[in-house]
Chain A
Amino acid sequence: MFNKLFYSSPTLRLNPKIIFPVILLCVIGLFILSSTSAGTPFHSSSLYKQLIWMGAGLVAFLIIQTIRIQFFAEYTYILYGLLLLALGATYFMPAISGAHRWLNLGPISIQPSELGKIIVVFTLAKYLADRHENSNAWVVIGMAMFLAIIPALMVFRQPDLGTAVIYMAVTLPMLYWSGVRSYYLFVIMAPLISILAAFHLVSFYIWIAILILVLFLSQPRLWVGILLVFINLGFGTLTSLLWNNLYPHQKQRILTFLDPMQDPQGAGYQIIQSITAIGSGGVLGKGLGEGTQTHLRFLPVRDTDFIVSVIGEELGLLGILVVIAAYFYLVFWKVTYAEIVHNRFAGLCMIGFSALLLVHATINMGMTAGLFPVTGLPAPFISYGGSFLLTVIITVALANNIVSNNV
Chain B
Amino acid sequence: MISKWGEMDRFPQQLSRRKNNLIYVMIALWLLVGYRFFDLQVLRYDRYWNRARSNSIRQVTRPAPRGIIYDRNGQPLVDNSPIYDLKIIPVDVTEDFNFELLARHLQISPDSITAILNNHNRGVSRFHPQLIKRHVRLEVMAQLQESRLEFPGLFFSELPARIYPDSARLSHAMGYLRTLTDNVLDQADPALNYHLSDVYGAAGLEMTYEPLLRGTDGVAYHLVDILGRELEEPPGASYYPPVAGQDLVLTIDARLQLRAETLLGGRPGAAVAMDPANGDVLVFASSPDYDLKSFTGPIPVDLWNEWNTGKSRPLLNRVINGTYPPGSVLKPVAAALALEKEVVSTDWTVTCNGAYTFGNRTFHCWELNGHGPMDMHHAIKHSCNIYFYHLIQRLSFADWGAMARGFGYGSPSGIDLPYENAGVVPTEEYMDAKYTSRGWADGNLLNIVIGQGDMLATPLQVVQMTSLIATSGQAYHPHLNRDHQPEPMILDLKDSTWRIIQKAMWAVVNADHGTGRRAASSGPGVVSGKTGTAQNPHGEPHSWFTGYITMPNDQQLAVAVLIENGGKGSVEAAMLAGELFDLYNLLFQESHVQ
Chain A: residues with CB nearer than 8 A to chain B? 4, 70, 73-74, 129-130, 132, 173, 176-179, 265-266, 269, 273, 275-283, 292-293, 295-298, 312-313, 316-317, 320-321, 324, 327-328, 331-332, 335-336, 338-339, 341-345, 347, 351, 354, 358, 362, 365-366, 369-371
Interface pair A366/B41, CB less than 8 Å apart: no
Interface pair B48/A279, CB less than 8 Å apart: yes
Interface pair B8/A343, CB less than 8 Å apart: yes
Select one of A74, A266, A342, A370 contacting B124, CB under 8 A: A266
B32 at the interface (CB under 8 A from A): yes
The chain B residue sitting closest to A299, CB to CB, is: B226
Interface pair A339/B19, CB less than 8 Å apart: yes
B26 at the interface (CB under 8 A from A): yes
B184 at the interface (CB under 8 A from A): no
Chain B: residues with CB nearer than 8 A to chain A? 1-2, 4-5, 8-13, 15-16, 18-19, 21-23, 26-27, 29-30, 32-34, 36-38, 40-42, 44-45, 47-49, 51-53, 55-56, 123-124, 127, 223-227, 231
Complex Cα–Cα for A279 and B42 (A) = 8
User: With A292-B223, A332-B26 in contact, do A280 and B2 touch (Cβ < 8 Å)?
Assistant: no
User: With A275-B40, A292-B52 in contact, do A342 and B10 touch (Cβ < 8 Å)?
Assistant: yes
14 contacts across the A-B interface (CB closer than 8 A): A177-B18, A266-B123, A266-B124, A276-B55, A279-B40, A279-B51, A280-B48, A283-B41, A293-B55, A296-B224, A298-B226, A339-B15, A343-B5, A365-B33
Interface pair B223/A296, CB less than 8 Å apart: yes
Which chain A residues lie closer than 8 Å to B44 at the CB level?
A: 279
Which chain A residues lie closer than 8 Å to B124 at the CB level?
A: 265-266, 269
Given contacts A292-B53, A343-B10, 7 further A-B contacts (CB under 8 A): A177-B22, A279-B40, A283-B42, A293-B55, A324-B33, A339-B15, A345-B8
The chain B residue sitting closest to A343, CB to CB, is: B8
Interface pair A296/B48, CB less than 8 Å apart: no
Interface pair A320/B41, CB less than 8 Å apart: yes
The chain B residue sitting closest to A129, CB to CB, is: B8
Chain A-chain B contacts (Cβ-Cβ < 8 Å), number: 158
Which chain A residues lie closer than 8 Å to B30 at the CB level?
A: 324, 327-328, 362
Which chain B residues lie closer than 8 Å to A293 at the CB level?
A: 52, 55-56
Interface pair B55/A312, CB less than 8 Å apart: no
Closest Cβ of chain B to A174, distance in Å, is 11
Complex Cα–Cα for A82 and B80 (A) = 73
Which chain B residues lie closer than 8 Å to A273 at the CB level?
A: 55
Interface pair B227/A369, CB less than 8 Å apart: no
Which chain B residues lie closer than 8 Å to A312 at the CB level?
A: 37, 40-41
User: With A331-B26, A369-B40 in contact, do A297 and B225 touch (Cβ < 8 Å)?
Assistant: yes
The 7 lowest CB-CB distance pairs between A and B, nearest first, are: A279-B48, A280-B52, A296-B225, A279-B40, A292-B56, A317-B41, A297-B226
Which chain A residues lie closer than 8 Å to B1 at the CB level?
A: 74
The chain A residue sitting closest to B38, CB to CB, is: A317
Select one of A317, A327, A335 contacting B22, CB under 8 A: A335
Complex Cα–Cα for A336 and B72 (A) = 94
Closest Cβ of chain A to B34, distance in Å, is 6
The chain B residue sitting closest to A323, CB to CB, is: B37
Interface pair B49/A279, CB less than 8 Å apart: yes
Which chain B residues lie closer than 8 Å to A292 at the CB level?
A: 52-53, 55-56, 223
Complex Cα–Cα for A296 and B33 (A) = 27
Select one of B16, B41, B123 contacting A278, CB under 8 A: B41
Select one of B18, B27, B45 contacting A282, CB under 8 A: B45
Interface pair A358/B29, CB less than 8 Å apart: yes
Closest Cβ of chain A to B51, distance in Å, is 5
Closest Cβ of chain B to A193, distance in Å, is 15
The chain B residue sitting closest to A297, CB to CB, is: B226
Interface pair B9/A282, CB less than 8 Å apart: no
User: With A73-B5, A275-B48, A362-B30 in contact, do A176 and B18 touch (Cβ < 8 Å)?
Assistant: yes
Complex Cα–Cα for A339 and B23 (A) = 12
User: With A335-B23, A339-B16 in contact, do A371 and B226 touch (Cβ < 8 Å)?
Assistant: no
Closest Cβ of chain A to B90, distance in Å, is 14
Closest Cβ of chain A to B344, distance in Å, is 85
Complex Cα–Cα for A371 and B201 (A) = 54
Which chain B residues lie closer than 8 Å to A277 at the CB level?
A: 52
Closest Cβ of chain A to B170, distance in Å, is 47
Complex Cα–Cα for A269 and B55 (A) = 13
Complex Cα–Cα for A313 and B53 (A) = 12
Interface pair A342/B9, CB less than 8 Å apart: yes
Complex Cα–Cα for A373 and B269 (A) = 74
User: With A342-B10, A362-B33, A369-B33 in contact, do A278 and B55 touch (Cβ < 8 Å)?
Assistant: no
Which chain B residues lie closer than 8 Å to A279 at the CB level?
A: 40-41, 44-45, 47-49, 51-52
Complex Cα–Cα for A365 and B225 (A) = 25
Closest Cβ of chain A to B576, distance in Å, is 63
Which chain B residues lie closer than 8 Å to A176 at the CB level?
A: 18, 21-22
Interface pair B22/A280, CB less than 8 Å apart: no
Which of B44, B49, B52, B53 has the most chain A CB atoms inside 10 A of its CB? Answer: B52
The chain B residue sitting closest to A362, CB to CB, is: B29
Interface pair B11/A179, CB less than 8 Å apart: yes
User: With A276-B48, A296-B56 in contact, do A347 and B10 touch (Cβ < 8 Å)?
Assistant: yes
User: With A280-B51, A297-B227, A371-B32 in contact, do A332 and B23 touch (Cβ < 8 Å)?
Assistant: yes
Complex Cα–Cα for A13 and B554 (A) = 114
Select one of B18, B33, B224 contacting A366, CB under 8 A: B33
Interface pair B5/A70, CB less than 8 Å apart: yes
Which chain A residues lie closer than 8 Å to B29 at the CB level?
A: 358, 362
The chain A residue sitting closest to B47, CB to CB, is: A279
Interface pair A281/B41, CB less than 8 Å apart: yes
Complex Cα–Cα for A276 and B224 (A) = 16
Complex Cα–Cα for A70 and B3 (A) = 11
The chain B residue sitting closest to A365, CB to CB, is: B33
Closest Cβ of chain B to A97, distance in Å, is 11
Complex Cα–Cα for A275 and B52 (A) = 10
Closest Cβ of chain A to B228, distance in Å, is 10
User: With A276-B55, A278-B48, A281-B41 in contact, do A369 and B26 touch (Cβ < 8 Å)?
Assistant: no
User: With A279-B51, A282-B42, A371-B33 in contact, do A296 and B231 touch (Cβ < 8 Å)?
Assistant: yes
Which chain A residues lie closer than 8 Å to B12 at the CB level?
A: 132
Which chain B residues lie closer than 8 Å to A276 at the CB level?
A: 48, 51-52, 55
Complex Cα–Cα for A292 and B51 (A) = 11
Which chain B residues lie closer than 8 Å to A351 at the CB level?
A: 22
Which of B19, B27, B226 has the most chain A CB atoms inside 10 A of its CB? Answer: B19
Closest Cβ of chain A to B134, distance in Å, is 25
The chain B residue sitting closest to A364, CB to CB, is: B33
Closest Cβ of chain A to B98, distance in Å, is 21
Interface pair A298/B55, CB less than 8 Å apart: yes
Which chain A residues lie closer than 8 Å to B231 at the CB level?
A: 296
The chain A residue sitting closest to B91, CB to CB, is: A297
